[in-house]
Amino acid sequence: MSLNFETNLTNIQQLASNKEKENDDFISYLKSFDGEYIDKQVHLLNEIVSPKIDCTLCGNCCKTLLINVQEIEANNLAAHLEINRAIFDEQFIEKGSNGMMLIKTVPCSFLKDNKCTVYNFRFEGCKEFPAMHLPNFKDRLFTTFMHYNRCPIIYNIIEQLKLVLNFKE
Ligand code: SF4
Ligand code: SF4
The CA angle 141-161-40, to the nearest 5 degrees, is: 80
**Atom from ligand 1 closest to the CA of residue 56:** 5
Report the C-alpha gap between 131 and 143 in whole angstroms: 10
Q: Considering every ligand atom shown, identify the ligand nearest to the alpha carbon of residue 76 and give its number.
A: 2
Query: Which helix H or strand E contains 91, and what residues bound it?
Result: helix 85-92
β-bridge mates for residue 116, sequence order: 111
Q: Which pLDDT belongs to residue 169? A: 80
pLDDT value of residue 4: 84
What angle (nearest 5°) sits at the alpha carbon of residue 77, between those of residues 86 and 65? Answer: 95
Task: Starting from the CA of residue 12, give the closest ligand.
Answer: 1
Q: Measure the CA dihedral 148/150/153/159, to 10°.
A: 40
Which residues 6+ apart lie within 8 Å of 118 measured at CB? 77, 80, 81, 110
Rounded to two decimals, what is the model's pTM?
Answer: 0.95
Conformational region of residue 136, where left means phi above 0, alpha means psi within -120 to 50, and beta covers everything else:
left
- DSSP-assigned states of every residue in 108-158: -TTEETTEETTGGG--HHHHHTT-TTSS-GGGGHHHHHHSTTT-HHHHHHH
Q: What is the biggest distance separating any 2 CA atoms in the chain, rounded to whole angstroms? A: 55
Query: Which residue's C-alpha comes closest to atom 6 of ligand 1?
Result: 55
Mutate which of 108, 112, 113, 147 to test ligand 2's pocket (most atoms within 8 Å of Cβ)?
A: 108
pLDDT in the model for residue 1: 53
51 contact partners, CB below 8 Å, separation of at least 6: none
Q: pLDDT per position in the chain (169 positions), as tens?
A: 557 899 999 999 999 999 999 999 999 999 999 999 999 999 999 999 999 999 999 999 999 999 999 999 999 999 999 999 999 999 999 998 888 999 999 999 999 999 999 999 999 999 999 999 999 999 999 999 999 999 999 999 999 999 999 999 8
CA-proximal residue: ligand 2, atom 5 (nearest): 62
